[in-house]
Structure 1
Amino acid sequence: MTSRIRLSEENRRWWTLAAMCFALFMVMLDNTVVNVALPSIQRSFDASLSSLEWTINAYSLSFAVFLVTGGRLGDIFGRRKVFLIGVVVFAVASGTIGFAPSEGWLVASRAVQGLGAALMMPGTLSIITNTFPPAERGRAIGTWAGVSAIALALGPLLGGWLTEDVSWRAIFFINIPVAAVAIVVTLFATHESRDETATREVDIPGIAALTVGLTALVLALVQANAWGWGSARIIGLFAVAAVGLASFILIERRSHAPIVDFTFFKSRSFVGANVVAFAISFGMFAVFFFLALYMQNILGYSPLETGVRFLPSTLVIMVAGPLSGRLADRVGPRTPLVIGLTLVTASLAWQSRIQVDTSFGFLVVPFVLLGLGMGFTMSPMSTAAMNAVDRTKAGVASGTLSMTRMVGGTFGVAALGALVASVGRHDLAQSLPNVPEGTREKLVDALGSGAATSGASDAVRAASERAFVDALGAGLTIAAIATGLAALAAWFMIDPIRPQHEAAPAPTQADTEAAMV
């Protein structure tokens, strides 16, 4: 207790940043180790490619749906409190995933894990925003992004080693000690903060409408490939999403305590940051999901070898994140954002030329460019969004930005999954005209997994691999177009002016008392 009271405010800021970095480390580690473990999970439960997508999408669904709500609850009831609840839920769900006896149990636990992340993640960025003044915020967010990139670097290696030599289940158990450290450091150093202008009223109708609308939207994106984009169920889900989201906007405009302050969207910088968030996640989620399958099931790498080959990207992100944050403090976020998105676009365009027999040497340079571009994008994107709103609204602003990222990522996986199925079906019909249509459909469903070709002839296996790689190349081209357009949006929409100095908010007596509880 005494050591906590003696902490200076300067030291406390950096301890707080460390706690937020631990939390983000846990989430990013989970994302990267899961990608490497996908083929092993697929074999463990004998899952199809569409079923395997739920390992990612169940998490993305609950994460995206509850992010704005999590951010708003933090603004109302205390960001530290909601953040800690999220960390506990995330850690417990990680344990239940590790013990999953079936694919259904795994998917359900991933959904709960997404809920924990939704309560936790807006808190990390909003707590940093309230702890650091605008002129230092880029450096803090850059450090936050850079330290989290250590998880990106360690995730594939640790995940590959555990999957190969222990079990894919072990990759989820490692979240538990990381969560414990995050909880201890947060209780030790972080002041409680909330939206001083908000009442304790929770907008239940708004939360309900947003939940219905986003759930229908993300579920439609996730299931569109399995049910068919033109099927009655998918069209019905899109209709429900439209009604739900339209109702949410009407409710929020009349609510005394709205979840989302729509004046945020009067800021071109805030809108621009969300456009960038959607585009970068659209490309990255899909790329890492399908590249992990490509490396293991097409190129024949083991999980550990796949993890090692992601290092050129992840190590560069670790260095570029803090650098871009400091650059954003000096010149504003627009310049590093445009540079980063241009590099990502070049990387994706380069990778779109991959073939069935592509060597890793071909991928080294685009992987380095990808890491550099991601490092120069993520931190300035967050800085641009958070500097565009008042610090009292940091929680819901952070939640909105994170929700946009998750919806973009889910749409990316769904869109590329649809492209793989469509291009694969066409290619297999051309290359295997004598194979019965029902058999070809099984091959389409298993594209990229090798599941349906394990006992097939060399011709069938080769045709399936070519179909998957052709579709992946087309998907990478589309992702490159999306990030290129995002670079243009960043140039025209993000405020180029560097942030002005502002005194850091002094803790209130209530904050000091809350920090000692």
Structure 2
Amino acid sequence: MNQSRVKVLTLAAMCSALFMTNTDDTVLNVALPQIQTSLGSDVSGLQWILNAYTLPAASLALTSGTFGDTYGRKRLFLAGVAIFMVASVICGCATHMGILITGRVLQGIGAVALIPTSLSILTHTFPKPQEQTQAIAIWSAVSALALIAGPVIGGLLVDVFGWQSTFFMNIPFGAIAFWITTRFVNEAQHKRRRYIDLPGLILSVVVLAALTYALIEGNTQTWRSPLILGLFAIAGVSFVTFLIVEFRSTHPLLPINLFKNPSFSVVNGVHVLVMFTFISSLFIFSLFLQQVQGYSAIAAGVRFLPLNGAFVVALLISGWLAARVGWRLTMTVGLTLAGLATLSFVGLRADTEYGTMVWMLVVSGFGGGLTLPPLAAVAMSVAPPSQAGIASAVLNTTNRLGGILGVALQGTILMQRQAAELVRSLSAWNLPSNLQNQLITEVLRNGAKLPANLPANINPSKLQHAIHNAFVSGLHATVVVAGIALLIGALLVWAFIPSTVHRENQVKV
């Protein structure tokens, strides 16, 4: 077949797979309220739905390049697409939370196999610099399209066909990518054997899993319970052991020497803070728009367009701006804008008009988009050329880690604050403690819906008002944490990142 046609088909297959995985991320947020109602889940269950995907993606991100180089990138990509499609069917057919969470774990494994590998296949297929730049630009544009279109597509599917359809929509995209790749994409395999740091991989999984489980399940159990304290202890000991193993390993999963450069350490830490805020905000505001303000799934998806659109626009202009005013100023301005806009959400009430919050969404999204490309540019510039691949993998890992911590910690803050406010409201009505506990449990399990079979002495409208105010109180607590995190990130960037960075640590300020 003509080589030009092979290149076009390869690009189409990689973009189809990328669109499938990226829309799955954004589509799911608007489906969460219906999933909560359908499967009878509380906020902890929703946190697990999101983090069950992100945990394997974060844990395996550092090894995906090694597996691709060792066993073949095409082979790994096909395996990832197949796993993702099977997992999507499992999720779509789930009748209880256990099955859905299992499917999400498999989706995360499939995604980490196919996303980095798709980029490697493109760089191999388009070896000429100009062609490669164009191909990667199209690949990145598809990612941006998925970010913008995902909530709207998801909302439409949820309202018309139900939440299960958000998983079944992955099948045609995956099938196209699988068929084209099998028929037309050339294999690319590294000739030099690379080693898998199995102890480091196992320890990284244990650290993330134990920490996430402790943060999420602390909602449903006592924070001082032996299980929760034990999980925090396991996470801490495993993390220290991981650092020791990586420091001594001849083939480390995570080369510790990269973090000796303060710029590399700071930008990855700030990357965690940005994704902590962005991912958790999508999660919490999707619940707010649907459960408190009463929007349908598609209406909520449409209302995310200003946020996501501003984010993509800022992504496109950030490189141009950074070239003129420097990386440090660009990132500092972006983080400050996002931080202040996020803090401004403390003025929201249950009945706040959407038009009032649009500017907050736009500024928040614009600030986040302005920050991320310079963060990546600094990380890749200060890393030695021989470690560019692992530096990119570290960035991908901190991206996922920020999402994990954001959903786990912010979801916990939301639920704890919501429960505390409900206790305060119900206690003022002089209700028996056992009835208070029953009502709070039902509210947390069913979102903002009124519990069934209310006692005659409870006014439904008054209780609904208390439920909405409790959620808003929790939202206020989360945006304060998120806003402060972004402003701390701005201070770190201004203090430690030079305006321009050159390789081999030659710094010009």
TM-score band, normalised by shorter chain: 0.7 to 0.9
Determine which structure has greater relative contact order: mean sequence separation of CA pairs < 8 Å that are 6+ residues apart, divided by chain length.
Answer: 1
How many angstroms does 1:391 deviate by? 4.9
1:435 corresponds to 2:452: no
How many angstroms does 1:257 deviate by? 1.8
Q: State how 1:218-233 maps to structure 2 within 5 Å.
A: 218-233=212-227
1:490 corresponds to 2:486: no
Contact 2:19 2:146 in 1 (8 A): yes
Q: Which residue of 1 aligns with 2:364?
A: 370
**Structure 1: how far apart are the matches of 2:266 and 2:9?**
31
Of 360, 366, 380, the residue aligned with 1:386 is 380
Distance 1:257 1:478, change over 3 A: same
Q: State how 1:139-158 maps to structure 2 within 5 Å.
A: 144-158=139-153
Q: Which residue of 1 aligns with 2:299?
A: 305
**Structure 1: how far apart are the matches of 2:488 and 2:119?**
26
**Structure 2: how far apart are the matches of 1:68 and 1:230?**
33
Q: Which residue of 2 aligns with 1:163?
A: 158
When structure 1 is superposed on structure 2, of 226-235 and 150-159 the one drifting more is: 226-235
Distance 1:284 1:436, change over 3 A: farther
How many angstroms does 1:233 deviate by? 0.8
SS at match of 1:432: helix
Contact 2:74 2:185 in 1 (8 A): no
**Structure 1: how far apart are the matches of 2:177 and 2:236?**
38
**Structure 2: how far apart are the matches of 1:20 and 1:140?**
10
Distance 1:340 1:68, change over 3 A: same
How many angstroms does 1:190 deviate by? 7.4
How many angstroms does 1:148 deviate by? 1.4
1:216 corresponds to 2:210: yes
**Structure 2: how far apart are the matches of 1:88 and 1:442?**
44
When structure 1 is superposed on structure 2, of 354-363 and 214-223 the one drifting more is: 214-223
Distance 1:416 1:201, change over 3 A: closer
Q: Which residue of 1 aligns with 2:448?
A: 450
Question: Structure 1 stretches of 5 or more lacking a match?
Answer: 501-517
When structure 1 is superposed on structure 2, of 451-460 and 482-491 the one drifting more is: 451-460
Contact 1:141 1:383 in 2 (8 A): no
Distance 1:237 1:108, change over 3 A: same
Residues 84-113 of structure 1: per-residue CA shift (max 9 Å, x gap): 432332222112212223221111000111
1:41 corresponds to 2:35: yes
How many angstroms does 1:45 deviate by? 1.2
**Structure 1: how far apart are the matches of 2:16 and 2:385?**
22
Q: Which residue of 1 aligns with 2:92?
A: 98
1:320 corresponds to 2:346: no
Of 230, 235, 243, the residue aligned with 2:237 is 243
When structure 1 is superposed on structure 2, of 464-473 and 242-251 the one drifting more is: 242-251
1:56 corresponds to 2:26: no
**Structure 2: how far apart are the matches of 1:316 and 1:31?**
18
Contact 1:269 1:384 in 2 (8 A): yes
SS at match of 1:417: helix
SS at match of 2:251: coil
What letter matches 1:450 in structure 2?
A: A
How many angstroms does 1:230 deviate by? 2.2
Residues 179-227 of structure 1: per-residue CA shift (max 9 Å, x gap): 3444567675677365x7x643322222222222222222222322222
How many angstroms does 1:139 deviate by? 9.2
**Structure 1: how far apart are the matches of 2:388 and 2:142?**
21
Q: State how 1:408-427 maps to structure 2 within 5 Å.
A: 408-427=402-421
What letter matches 1:460 in structure 2?
A: L
Distance 1:242 1:248, change over 3 A: same
User: Percent identical across equivalent pairs?
Assistant: 38
Q: Which residue of 1 aligns with 2:278?
A: 284
**Structure 1: how far apart are the matches of 2:179 and 2:261?**
37
SS at match of 1:230: coil
Query: TM-score, normalised on structure 2?
Result: 0.86
**Structure 2: how far apart are the matches of 1:324 and 1:185?**
34
Residues 233-288 of structure 1: per-residue CA shift (max 9 Å, x gap): 11111111122222222222222222121121122232122112210121122211
When structure 1 is superposed on structure 2, of 379-388 and 41-50 the one drifting more is: 379-388
Q: Give the total of aligned pairs.
A: 492
Contact 1:340 1:372 in 2 (8 A): yes
How many angstroms does 1:382 deviate by? 2.6
Contact 1:160 1:307 in 2 (8 A): yes
Q: State how 1:234-273 maps to structure 2 within 5 Å.
A: 234-273=228-267
SS at match of 1:486: helix
Residues 486-517 of structure 1: per-residue CA shift (max 9 Å, x gap): 122223333432668xxxxxxxxxxxxxxxxx
What letter matches 2:81 in structure 1?
A: V
Distance 1:17 1:497, change over 3 A: farther
Contact 1:138 1:379 in 2 (8 A): no
How many angstroms does 1:481 deviate by? 0.5
SS at match of 2:500: coil
Q: Which residue of 2 aligns with 1:512?
A: none
What letter matches 1:67 in structure 2?
A: A
Contact 1:15 1:190 in 2 (8 A): no
Q: State how 1:121-140 maps to structure 2 within 5 Å.
A: 121-123=115-117
How many angstroms does 1:79 deviate by? 4.7
SS at match of 1:226: coil
When structure 1 is superposed on structure 2, of 153-162 and 81-90 the one drifting more is: 81-90
When structure 1 is superposed on structure 2, of 243-252 and 183-192 the one drifting more is: 183-192
Distance 1:486 1:16, change over 3 A: farther
1:174 corresponds to 2:169: yes
What letter matches 1:26 in structure 2?
A: M
When structure 1 is superposed on structure 2, of 364-373 and 202-211 the one drifting more is: 202-211
Contact 2:335 2:490 in 1 (8 A): yes
Contact 1:332 1:498 in 2 (8 A): no
Give the alignment's Cα RMSD to 1 decimal: 3.2
How many angstroms does 1:360 deviate by? 0.3
**Structure 1: how far apart are the matches of 2:227 and 2:34?**
31
Q: Which residue of 1 aligns with 2:506?
A: none
**Structure 2: how far apart are the matches of 1:20 and 1:158?**
21
Q: Which residue of 2 aligns with 1:2?
A: 2
Contact 1:84 1:183 in 2 (8 A): yes
Query: TM-score, normalised on structure 1?
Result: 0.85
1:202 corresponds to 2:196: yes
